[in-house]
Structure 1
Amino acid sequence: MEDTDQTRWEELLRCTVCHDTFKDPRQLPCGHSMCMDCLTKLLDHSTDSPFRCPDCRADFGQVVELQKSYALASIAEDFRLIKKRRETLAECVYCDCCPETKTAAFKSCLKCEVSLCREHMKDHLELQAFTGHPLVDPLSDLLERKCPQHRDQVLRYYCCSSRRYVCNMCALESKQLGSASDASAVLRRQLTDYMDQYFKTLQQQMNESINAVRTQHEKLKGNPLDRLNGVTVVLLSLWFIVLYYAYHYSVENQTLADALERQQSRVHHIYSSIAGHMADHPLKRLSEDEGMVVSL
């Protein structure tokens, strides 16, 4: 009912030209009113002669020295102040511990997820049980600050790498996954270095075999059949060398892949243990750890 009355008053006190609450209203001979600035602009740009009312399109002669509607101006100003006061109260954050009196909150506790007035904030400042509870300026969106992945956690950090707000558990998870990524990178680098060394050895062996083929070719130039047999033997030798190193490459690759998988499983197991332990003891200085996250 109150909203309906407010809407009705807004319609009655709205200028038909600027569609805002009357400012310095002037009444036309037909009885309709409009802001003085709006009337002046209409007269400057109007092509109608005589001037027509924008509401009822009534004709009158030249509009000069219209009297200010003091009663309407006073009502419009009071309505504007009441509307502004209501908007301010709607944005105000109230204490969750005294909803009956609608006391304005002084701080919000991110741990308890409540807003507190000065009186109810004393317990957080004096009692040891509330030591470490972060108090920030009043927040009207505490429920919206819930972590979508961990519903019992509040978003209180900003992750620079993912460019989003995260909670304690997200920050811990990001840190542990970063450690797993570092371990994976080390194992991949070791695998790459190992295989590079393998290929260098294989290249050296093939060069030696090619030189042996050339030497054998020089010796067997006189007899085509002996030359063909010698080349066949050398090619078979090269083929067996390639198969040998290919087999060892496959075995070593599988061994390192298994080691990588075991390392990742171990890191995730450690993370799960730490996450379970940290659920009751949130991190206090995650924002200082390797620049991963910063406080809101």
Structure 2
Amino acid sequence: MHQFEEELTCFICYSLFEDPRVLPCSHTFCRSCLEGVIQLSSNFSIWRPLRVPLKCPNCRSVVEIPASGTEVLPINFALKAIIEKYRLEDRADDVATCSEHYRQPLNVYCLLDKKLVCGHCLTIGKHNGHPIDDLHSAYLKEKESSGKILEQLTDKHWSNVCLLIEKLKEQKSQCESVVQDDKKVVVQYFKKLSETLEHKKQVLLAALDEINRQILEEYEPHIEKLKKIREEQLELMSLNTSIQKEESPLVFLEKVDNVHQRIKALKEKELPDVKAVEIYPRIGHLLKDVWSKTEIGQINKIPTPKIKLIPKRKLHSKSSEKERGKSKELLQAASSVALTLIFIVIAVIAMLSFHKPILLAAVESVPNYISDFLLLVYQDFCTCWQSTVDAVCHQFHVLAELLGGIVPF
């Protein structure tokens, strides 16, 4: 009857009718709702008539209510009966019903499946033929057996569960402790590594600062000396310009002679011999060739390079036959050394690639101090190899210049 609930609702309070009364216009309202409307209308009148006019809230027509009030209005008994039946059915809906059989109450207990069923389940359903019991008897029996349920929940099995929980908590705590210890190790390791890297950085920067100081010592005196010569030159130019304005022959000749003497002395001053220099080794090459190929744990053992200023190699356009002969000999020697080293490296790599297990076993058997020594040797080899490559490139430049001077292109 839920689809008729709107027809059973009062138009004023929007609830189910309570003591429904019918107005002369045939519309029905709750008695209490009508009294509220009449009371509201009476507040605007200074006297109470024998019949109270009332506008119907539904059809808006004016009807007269006796002075005795809504008690004399007829009761809508049919509507009242329908509402009572509706409320009874609504309360019946609160009773548990079978999910398989519509609106059938669950009032029987199946002893086999240990669940509540309806009458249809026992007669035509899947519980047909199962032993049953009524709800009250099943309730009493299960209540008596509740002590056994408690025993099942406190036996040895549950004791083992509690012990297992404690054991797992202990193992969890141990694992968490290990993780915390490893975190401390990681923090300490990278702190030490960062300190080592910072120290190496400061050492390299200090070496670069030192070479920068040497550059200043090399160039600054010459620059200052040439600046003074340039300043004296500008001074003489200015002096000469002012002398040209002198009108006295005697004064002019004296000043001109002084200018000539100063110019002669200035031109006789020896200019500094500027020799181009270059920085060796380059830190960029060191970081690329040595640092990037070194294990992290061996970084602190990398020696600090000695950075120096060396004469820059020059390519002369014209050379004597003797110099050309020496250059050819040096080029041949450097080429022979380079080819020999390249052949040795290729041979070693090929041998190690075919005997990788032997290589691994040999590396594992080498003591730490020998591995450290080999690391230093490797670093020196890289430095020497870079020097050799630079020398070979230089000789190729010399050879190209010599060929350019002999054979015109």
TM-score calculated relative to the size of structure 1:
0.44
TM-score calculated relative to the size of structure 2:
0.34
**Larger RCO (CA under 8 A, 6+ residues apart):** 1
Structure holding more helix per residue: 2
